[in-house]
Each structure stands twice: as structure tokens, then as C-alpha cells.
Structure 1
């Protein structure tokens, strides 16, 4: 403290005493201790200053409460190292798409290039699982909205552009006979189900000769989309079961992947043996390939420790396996099944080699500029190449050749680069779209709506196809040829037809559905059916005069001609026909079932036993001259003669009369004749068949006719009812002769009824 008075001289103290707090009366008290009483000192002169109370130290300030301990921070999440950008994966994409392109272009040395799709599947399983697991470790959860938003940005813009362009191209150039089906294909592309539509289409016997859809390449994208739908949901469920622990998610996810891999692979092998189209396109027979990639993603830390020398070996071996599959496999390879293990395992080995921290030769090769370029545009290139290969030859009216296909693929590379640069990248990297998951999902919705709008506009607003309620051909109104001279006159006039008649029956768009009535009654059996649903009797069903029509679809096509004869003659006509199953006692190969056609042997024996039991008045037989035979069956004319001898020996002994109808002409290329006409509607002569090519020349035809004559059967050679002057027209008057590549239409069959009746034995 200080005084407002100036200080006076300080008193002297005894020598040796220093100045301290006590001398100046500054009582000093230790904190918390009472002040000590002042000590008595010797008397001194009175102080000039007024007396002051004894000094008391101020009380110490109240102590602040001890700060609460800082909340404990959560333990850091376990780390999961992502894969980042891997040039070897980009290079693998290039290998995959190049294999597919070479195969589709028609290069024989790469007939197995379809294995490129298997490479894509493994890569998808690996990449998607890696991203989801990294998200689980980084955030403790998996965001469905974020995942689907990213997928929508990445996949749908380019896919939608290709879909819209393909719909327009198909409307402009595709045969009108297939246009409705193609638009249905487009719709299933939009809803990610085209793979199962292809299964239904390719396992349908009546579609065997149809032109491939320009949307066929989308099947693999549909499989991946189905994987994207299920896989994140499964991981979220596993994470919940794992107590939201990312480390436990890895172990449970690995167990789930192993189970999916095993079950799906077993299904793939089994289904491939039963129905290869189903095994090829179905998601449940392909899931194991995606699971293979997922297993690698879940075990990635292990593979990072792979020794450098081993990585070299794995990389070289893996790439060799993928390329070997593309070169060694053919269209006849039973695929996917166990044969798909080669490209799948090869892809896995390359991925393992690339997961190490040291380089390897294959990784260096795949990192070079050409592989990086094709890998970068591989998605757009895969989408564009197929519709370009299918539609452009139709647009320029050119036969697809390897040379033309190479030119078209070069063009596809340019279009893919533009799509990548101006569609894929801008939308994938757009900051406004990335700002919210909602905008990514909106992008997907907009793309889908635009595609649907395009399909609706082309099928409703600019429809080329008649409405579905187009009435079937009125067979009662068909004018029958009275004799051979009249049918020859009609055929001769048919050779001069250049333009498609407006009143063509059946119309080009309905030709595919123009089947005999026994198809709708289920009396013409499909590949797997052995017993008819009923007696399948026509004409006078109470008559004692029984006539049996027996054979494959080439026998069934005569039903429209036989039915009015049965009604007029009072026959009880029994229909006994089955797809791809002729009368000759030989085991065929079924292309739909893709195996030995044992159902045919069973059905044939059952029908002949029935004939032996009922002893009909007449049996009419017909079938293909040169069907596909099962492995081990002799396809020589001598073996064919023996097969007919076996059948005719039993039937001629039981039937009053036996008749064989020779096979009808067929397109030598296997292309649908209505489709050919729809492409050349003003040049119908382009579709006329050459008799020498359209009639079987293997020797089987003559062998069967010779055996039939020797057995006492009546042989009716029908070729003269279809061909004249060395050619076989496809239209007579306003009648379409063929409904596909090798079956006659129902109105043309009915027009031959009188001729057939005159040629048959009298009962």
C-alpha cells in the first residue's frame, strides 16, 4: 500500500539488520495460518504517520473447481487399405473386351472370346466388394443410397444412350418380323431382366432360326445389376449379425462368399448339362464368378504379402489361362460349367499378382498405353460394338463379313471414346451430381424414364407392327390348287414376284405365330414332353377309319392339308408329332436341351406301340432328312436307311397303308425367310431359294425313299410342290410359302390339300 503523503526519511536500524517485512510492519501470513502477534521492540521516537491497523493479507481467491476430465475419444477404427487405381485391372478390362470383340467379329482363332465376360464378372465382384468393405471400415456402416447413387452415375448414362440409339436403329433397319420382340427386349434391358428373357427366347424351338437381338450384349450387365441389388443388402445383414464390427464382417462375408461360390458353381455345372442357354445367361449360375472376385477382395491383406517371385509366376500363369480359354474354347464347348474355371482362375491369379507391393511383368504389360486405352473405354465399347455389328449391315444392305466387322469395330472404338469423354466422365465426376446421393439416384431415374419413353414412342407413336389382335389366317378361304399343273403355274408366277403384296397371308409380322392348330392344342409335343394331353383326334372322331400323322414338326406342317381331308373322307385323324423327333429309329441330338434326345426315343417307341395296338387304316410319316444326331450315331446314308428300315418294319406290319412324305426345302443359310423378305420387301427375288441348295444332298433323302419303296410304303415326293425351274419361290400370289427357314405356312399347306388327297392311297 502507498500514502498520499510524500515519504519521510526512513529510520535507521541497528547495524547488521536488513529490511524485511516485519520491519515495515507488513505482516506476512502463510496461507491458512493465523497471523502471529507483533513482537515488542525498543521504544523509539513517535512516528510522524498516523497509526494504521495491522496489515492482513487478503484472503486467497476461491479455488476454481477442478476441470472435468475430457471425454475419452473412441478408439480409432481399424484401418482397411483400399485398392486405389490399379493399372493391371484396367489392362484386364482391355483383355476382356478385346476377346469379346474378336469373337463377335468372326475370327476363328478367338471363337472362345466370350470368356471375356467371365473376366468382367470376377473384376466386378472384386472391385465392388473392395469399395463396400473399405466403406464399412471407414464409416462403420454401408450406405445403400450412396452405393446405388454411385452405380447409377457410373452405369446408366452410357447404357441409356446405347439403349436409345439401338431402339432407333432397330426401328429403322431391323426386320419388321422381329421388331415387336426387339422392343420387348429393350424393355427388359431397362428393368435389368434381359438375361432371363434371352433364356426364354433361346430355349424356344420356334425361335431357333431368328436373327439375334441387338440388345444381346446387355445380358451380362443385367447379371451385374442383379448382383448389385443383392450383394450390398447381404453385406449389411452380415454386418448387423457381426455386431457392426468390420473385422467380423470380413470373416462372415468370406464364409458367405465361399458358400455362394460352391453352390453356384455346382448349379452351373449341373444346369450346363441340362440347358446351356439357361446356364449361360442366368444369374444363379454366374454368381460364383462374382463371388470369386469378392473372396479376393475380402482376403486382400493376405495377398499383399505375396513374394515377388511368386507374383511373377501367378501373373504370367493367370494371363496365359485367360488367353488360352479364349483361343481353345469354341461354340461347341460346354460353357459355363466347370470349363469357366479356367478364365475365372486366371483372372484371380492376375489380381493376386497385382495386389503385391512389387511389380511383375504382366502388370507392367497391362499398364502400357494400348491396354490402358482399351481398358478405359471398355464399358462403352462393350455396349456399342454389338448393335453396330448387327444393325449397320442391315442399314447398308451388306453381308456381314470379317472384313466389314473389323471396319465396324474400328468405328465402335471411336464412338466408345466419344461416349467415355462426353457422357461417362462428365456425369460420373459432376460435382453437382456428386453433391448428394439424391442427385445420383435422380440421374438413374431420368435415364430409365428416357429409355422407356423411347420404347413407347417407337412402338405406339410410330408403330410398324400390326396390333396384337390381328386375326389368324382364315384357312377356309384359302383357294386349293386343283392339280399339279396349277401349283406349277403358281410357282412359276412366284419367281417373278419382286415386291411384297399388301395382302400377304400370313403377314410378315405374324408369320412366326402361324402354326398348325395342333400346336395350340398342345398335341404337337415340345422337347421334354412325351405323352399327349389327350387323344388328339380330329376329323370324324367317332369313325372307325383311323389315320395317324407321325413325325417331327416337318410332319406337323402337313396337318392343315390333312384336316379337311379327314373331315371330307370321314377319317379319325390322330396327331402324333413331336419337335425335332422324326420317325427314323435313330437317337437325335436336341439343340434346345443340348444333349442326347432320349425323350425322342421314348416317344417314338410309345407311338409305334400304339400303332401296333390300334392297327390304323393308314399311317403318314414325315421328318427331316438330315437331323442332328447324338454323339456316336452314324450319320451316313447307310445308317439312315437302317434307321428307316427299323421303323417301317414295325409300322407296315400293323397299318393298312403306310405313306412317307419327303422333306420340304429349307433355307441353306438357316436364316428365316420372312425376315429375309422384310429386309428386301422390294427385292423379294433376293430370298428365292436355289433348289440344289435347298433340298438335302447328303444321300439320306434317296436312302429313305429307297427303303420306303422296298417296304411297300407309298412315297410322295413333295419337292415339285415347292420348286420349279431349279428354284423355289417364297411367295405365290398373296400367300407366304414359309413361316420360318424350313416350315411351310398354314395357308400354303392348306392350298396343297387336294394335291395331297389325290396322292394318298384310297381307303
Structure 2
């Protein structure tokens, strides 16, 4: 899985004091260092994202021990005081970073990203960013359209805040159940309750990581076991000066486990699931070992003042480093190793200042500490409401404007010149001065310019065959099926146009990333199984229904296909198409495969935004580079009688270059997909090519 998330829940669960364990401060330094290095220098610590698990275990340990001391001493937890302390410690620094991020978003990021970032700022302020990202990870179209936002690292803080909300209630429940038992026995009951959380969450994590890794990475339910692991350790850990040599060895083993995670794991490692056991176990080992005094123990390094100080500011360091990286990349592009080093230094300085002037003063502010906890909580709720209302209102206004521009673009396409879009290349008499003044669908609207709907689309985890239909139910000129992954479904706008103007009856069958092939795609086992189930159901449906006149298909030529035993990858790709198409073609249905589309340059929308009227030349990509992939469809059609290839490349590329704007229409909505606006302009050319290649005749109207 491509890891689009940035991790590190590192809120300081306890104030820095003599009671703070030096090994925990060192663990914070190690974890935040891993996260920062992973983000700024991804080739250094490929598995640095696992630092989040270290912090979750620490939080589970510290909060559990803190609350149990209160329960043991008073028999209850003062919820108001607990949540007020959390709010004073966490929110001032977080809200400062969110405020600065909001301002810099408008100053630095392209306007098309404003709505997404505002939504995520609101979700971060309400500490539900993890669920927003989990939802987007399920939504294939959102995955394609969304950028790595400057606040997406708040997902892990959201998980931790949700832990803070639930955990005290769980401990009180366990304490109440065991209220008649001696104190020692109560711990067993509480441990049993936490063990239920551990087992249930761990099983959920393993299953969901295998079947649906995107949501699994962000979900609170797949991370709760890590908090529980720290909590269970906190229930029974008793500090001792005995067994010093064994504890020193245990500490080294724990550190080695964390280091192995950082060095051996990659963005492709299934996570959290079973693989999260390594950093969790390593963290538990270091905490359990404590602060051994042997000369060869890690304490000499872990106790160094820079290590302890970095752990002290780790929360603010984590908050600052990711937005700085995103804004620097947006402004300067690839800043190089030295630039990333400067980002890290700046993040450290800002973290130190934030700790000194924001975190610490807010934590002990007399006007809050001396008042009832409800004062802090009311101020917290008020601040959250202000942020939510502001961001959601702004995002809605921006979204409305983008939608209005998209509607205006669709209107221009419907009633404007035939020279717009692909028509500009099809007609030698077209001139630029005949085109409208604005680009269609607009830079802001390009990312979401897609007419695909849930009715036409089976998402990840859904193996049911969904079908949506266009055109007349009876007396159709042609009966057509559009079948395949998103690179097939992107032609929906064109066939929808043909259904309306040429009386084609079109049924659309599509599934996220699932290519209509007999070959197996390289994904997680459960994902591949789900795709295979969908294809079996699709093939059965096509075999059982009245034969279509025509099936149109395409695919993303960069899809990962598994080479069959004893066959090359290219042969496997070609064979897979033959296996899928031939049974349908044998029934008399013509198969039309559309050659996969070119790819634009990286950052093509930024380039268009900067160059507007000259984007067609200044933002173009060489045809050879734009088509640098193996598409097995041309070879497959030669082996399937009744199959034909339609190559629309001349309507994407001319004179050896492929521009991202043609006829004042933006061609691509993301790095691989076409905008529906441009696809709609391809409808006449697609119809002409299909009829010419297949020899099909459209039935006249009755």
C-alpha cells in the first residue's frame, strides 16, 4: 500500500518533572526523531512511521498508571479535572499550529487545495481527522484528488484524544465491577477488562489490515490494543533496583526492536496488524527495564540532556515539522537534503519556543488552574466551535464556487464551439481565438471533474456487481457495456453523451482498481480475492444476459499484475485480456479496447495555474515519456476475433508532445485520469473510431 499518512501521536501525557521516567523521555526522542527523519529523509528510516506505535504505548502506560493512582487513593476519577488538564496541555500548541497552517494555506497552497485543507483543519480541531482520512482512503476518487495536507499528521493525535475520552470510563467501570474486592484483586479485574480491549482490537487490526489497509491504518479500533498493552504493563509494573544486568539487556533488546522497525519496515509493509507487534514489544521492553545502572546499559545515552530535552519538546516538534515540510515543498519543489535539514532545524526552534511560551504557560495559567475545570472545558469547546464553523463555512463557500465554475464549464461544452477540447485537434480550421476566455473545468475543479457515481462503482471490499444505465431502454441504436477499472469508467462522460445524442443503450460496470482480465493483480490477498469475486460475478452476468452489440473496456497500464508461473509479465498481461474477452466475443459481441491514456508531468495543475494561457506548451510532456508503460491491449486484440483497438493518442498528443490543456479544456483530473470535461469532447471521435473499427451499424430509430 502506498502510505499517504504521517504518524506520531506524541502528546505529553505527564508534565516534565522528577517523576517523569528518563527512559520514556528517551523513547519520545527516538520516536519523534524517527517520524521526522521518515518524513524529511524517507530513505533514511523507511519505517519511521511506526513511531506512532511507540507513542501510543507510552500514553497507555502513563495515563493508566496516573488514573489508577487516583482511583486507589480516592475511589474515583475527577473527570472534569482530568479533561481540563489534558485540554490545557494539548490544545494551545495544537490550535496555534492549526491557526498558522490556515493562514499559510491561503498564502502558499494553490487555491484548488483550500477546501480540502480547511475541512481537515476542522476535523483536526475536533480530533476526528483520523476518521476523515479513513473515509477518504475508502473513497477511491478522494484518494486520487486529495493532496497530502499540512495537517494530516493530526490523525494520530485524534486517535489519542479519543483514547483519552474512553479510557478513564473503562478504568472506572473495571474498578466499580471489582469494588468489593481487595485492591490487589481489583487490578486483576481491570487487567481482564483491558485484555478484552487488547484482544478485540488486535484481531480487528490484523483482519482489517489484510482486507482493507487504508482505513486500518487510521482507525482507532485498530490501534486501541497498543494503548491497552501499555496500560496492562502499567497495572503490574513495579520499579526495582534488582536484576540490573537483566534489565539493561532488556532495554537494549527493546531499543533494537524499535530500531529494526525503523530500518526494515517500508511504506509497503502491511501495517498495523501483526507487524506493529515489533515496535510495541520494543517499547514495552524499554519501559519495563526502567533505568538500569550498569555502565553498559543505555542510560548514559538516554540520560543525555539533549535526548531528554528533545523528548520534552517532542509534542511541539511533531506538530510543526510536517506543515513546514508541506509548505516548503509547495513553494520550492524538491528542496534537497540541505533544505530538509533546514526544515528540521526550523521545526526544532519553533518547538522549543512553543514549549517555552505556549505549552508551559497554558498548562499552569492561574486564571485557568484556579478556576473550576468547566471554565477550561467551556473555553475549549468554544475554540473548537469557532474553528469548526470557520473552516466548514470557508470550505463550503470554496466548494460552491468550484461547483459553479464546473457547471459553467459544462454549459460551455454543451452549447459552445466544437473546437473545445479534443475538437481543437480534430479540426484543422479551429483557432485559439474562437475559444472561451476561461479554462474548463477550471484549475480548482479539475481534481473532482468526474461524472462517475456510486451506482456505477463497486468500492474496495465490495464484490457485488453494480450497474448503471444510460440511453433508451428500447429501440436503441447500439447496446453497449462499459467494463473495467477507473480508466474504463473515465470514459463514462463520452458514452453518456453518445447515449443522449446517438441513442446508444449503455450499461456501466466498474470496480475500484479492478482490471477486466483473467490475470491476478498484485495487491493484498483479501483485496485480490475481492477483485476476483467481482470479476467472476461480472463474467457470469455477461454470460447470462442477452449479448451486447459492443463491450468497451480500458485499464490503467500501470496496474500491478502478477506474472503467471513460467510466463513473462508482458505475456501474462496479454494472456489475461484474451482469457477475459474471448468468451464474450465468442457470443458475437464486439470488444473495443481503448489504449490507455498518456500521463501528465508532475505538478501539472500548478504549472497550469502559473501559466494559464500558455499551459498547452509550457506544461506539456514529451509523448515518449507520457506513454512510458506497457499496454497489453494492442497485442490482445490481435488474438481475439471480434476485438479491436481504439487508439485516441492523436487527441492527446501531437508533434511529439502531450499538453495538459487542449482546446481550453484541462485534460487530466489527476496524475493518471482524464477529466470528464475532456472525455466528453472525445465522444464524436470515439464513436467514429468504434464504428470504423468494428463495422457495426447503428440501428435506425423506429
Of residues 212, 216, 222 in structure 1, which corresponds to 2:152?
A: 216
String of CA shifts for 1:425-476, please: whole Å, max 9, x gaps: 1111333432234354355345435644653685589x59616666632353
The reply to whether residue 335 of structure 1 matches residue 265 of structure 2 is: no
Alpha-carbon deviations, 1:215-255, whole Å to 9, x = none? Answer: 11111111111111111122223333333875554332222
Query: What's the counterpart of residue 34 of structure 2?
Result: 99
Q: 1:550 to 1:137 in 2, by over 3 A?
A: closer
Deviation at 1:122, TM superposition (A): 0.8
Aligned: 1:318 with 2:254: yes
Q: Helix, strand or coil: the match of 1:104?
A: helix
User: Contact 1:105/1:405 (CA < 8 Å) preserved in 2?
Assistant: yes
1:29-48 mapped onto 2 (5 Å cutoff)? none
- In structure 2, the partner of 1:413 is 348
Bigger drift between 533-542 and 749-758 goes to: 533-542
Q: Which residue of 2 aligns with 1:40?
A: none
Q: Distance in 1 between matches of 2:528 and 2:569?
A: 19
Post-superposition CA distance 1:538-559 (Å, at most 9, x none): 3454438422222222222223
Counterpart contact for 1:547–1:572, Cα < 8 Å: yes
Secondary structure of the equivalent of 2:599?
A: coil
Equivalent in the alignment of 2:507:
574
Q: Deviations over 1:644-670 (max 9, x none)?
A: 22233323322353322111112365x
Moved more, 678-687 or 250-259: 678-687
SS in 2 for 1:754: helix
Task: Give the superposition deviation at 1:87.
Answer: 1.7
Asked if residue 241 in structure 1 is aligned to residue 177 in structure 2, the reply is yes
Which of 182, 206, 212 is the matching residue for 1:269? 206
SS state of the match for residue 325, structure 1?
A: helix
Pair 587,596 (structure 1): closer, same or farther in 2 beyond 3 Å: farther
Tell me if 1:689 matches 2:626.
no
Q: Distance in 1 between matches of 2:536 and 2:494?
A: 26
- Corresponding residue for 1:666? 599
CA drift of 1:696 comes to: 3.4
Change (3 A) 1:562 1:137: closer
8 Å CA contact 2:254–2:281 kept in 1: the answer is: yes
Provide the residue aligned with 1:309 in structure 2: 245
Q: 1:476 aligns with which of 414, 425, 446?
A: 414
Deviations 1:351-405 (A, max 9, x none): 11116688872233211022112111100000111111111222x3322544322
Question: SS in structure 2 opposite 1:266?
Answer: helix
How much has 1:688 moved relative to structure 2? 2.5
Stretch moving more, 617-626 or 437-446: 437-446
In structure 2, the residue matched to 1:137 is: 72
Aligned length: 667
Note the 1:259-408 alignment, pairs <5 A: 259-301=196-238, 303-304=239-240, 306-354=242-290, 361-394=297-330, 396-408=331-343
- Structure 1 residue 719 displacement after superposition: 0.9
Equivalent pair of 1:478/1:750 in contact (CA under 8 Å): no
CA separation in 2, counterparts of 1:618 and 1:349? 63
Query: Do the aligned partners of 2:481 and 2:548 also contact (CA within 8 Å) in 1?
Result: yes
Residue in structure 2 matched with residue 650 of structure 1 by the alignment = 583
Equivalent residue of 1:109, what SS? Answer: coil
Q: Out of 659, 667, 670, which is 1:740 matched to?
A: 670
The answer for the alignment partner of 1:705 in structure 2 is 634
CA distance in 2, matches of 1:222, 1:543: 53
> Matched residue of 1:696: which SS?
coil
- In structure 1, distance between residues paired with 2:446 and 2:420: 25
The equivalent residue for 1:10 is none
**Structure 1 residues 421 and 572: alpha-carbon distance in aligned structure 2, compared to 1, 3 A threshold:** same
Distance 2:336 2:252 in 1: 34
Q: Is 1:583–1:604's contact at 8 Å kept on the other side of the alignment?
A: yes
How big is the shift at 1:566? 4.0
Superposed CA offset, 1:662-719 (max 9, x none): 11112365x6x4465346658735542332221133xx32x43133134343322111
Query: Which residue in 2 is equivalent to 1:441?
Result: 377
Query: Which residue matches 2:193?
Result: 256
**C-alpha distance in 2, partners of 1:486/1:733?**
5
Contact 1:722 1:729 in 2 (8 A): yes
Q: Is the 1:735–1:747 contact (alpha carbons within 8 Å) kept by the matching residues of 2?
A: yes
State the distance in 2 between where 1:153 and 1:429 align: 8
C-alpha deviation, 1:90, in angstroms: 1.0
Match in the other structure for 1:121 = 56
Aligned to 1:758: 688
Distance 1:177 1:502, change over 3 A: farther
Structure 2 runs not aligned, ≥5 long:
1-16, 698-702
1:163 is matched with which residue?
98
2:13 corresponds to which residue? Answer: none
Mapped to 1, the partners of 2:664 and 2:498 lie a distance apart of: 24
Aligned twin of 2:532: 601
CA distance 1:387–1:572, shift in 2 (3 Å) = same
Contact 1:304 1:357 in 2 (8 A): no
Q: Assess if the C-alpha contact under 8 Å between 1:551 and 1:622 holds in 2.
A: yes
Q: 1:348 to 1:759 in 2, by over 3 A?
A: same
TM-score, scaled to structure 2: 0.87
**CA–CA separation in structure 2 for the residues paired with 1:417 and 1:680:** 40
Change (3 A) 1:446 1:417: farther
Q: Find the aligned partners of 1:108 and 1:183 in 2 and give their Cα distance.
A: 30
Match of 2:655 in 1: 725
Equivalent residues of 2:421, 2:663 under 8 A apart: no
Q: 1:228 to 1:357 in 2, by over 3 A?
A: farther
- Aligned match of 2:450: 515
Please state whether the residue corresponding to 1:510 is helix, strand or coil: helix
Output the aligned Cα RMSD.
3.2
1:207 maps to 142
In structure 1, C-alpha distance between the alignment counterparts of 2:50 and 2:559, rounded to whole Å: 30
CA distance in 2, matches of 1:178, 1:584: 36
- Determine which of 455, 462, 487 is the counterpart of 1:554: 487
**1:481–1:755 Cα contact (<8 Å) kept:** no
- Contact 2:201 2:222 (C-alpha < 8 Å) held by counterparts: yes
Question: Residues 636 and 267 (structure 1 numbering): CA distance in 2 closer, same or farther, change over 3 Å?
Answer: same
Which 10-residue stretch deviates more, 447-456 or 89-98? 447-456
Distance 2:618 2:321 in 1: 28
Give the direction of change, closer, same or farther, for the CA distance of 1:94–1:558 in structure 2 (3 Å limit). Answer: same
Structure 1, unmatched stretches of 5+, are 1-81
Query: Partner residue of 1:76?
Result: none
Q: CA deviation at 1:94?
A: 0.3
CA contact (8 A) 1:308 1:360 kept: no
Counterpart of 1:54 in structure 2 is none
Q: TM-score if structure 1 supplies the norm length?
A: 0.80
Name the counterpart of 1:31. Answer: none
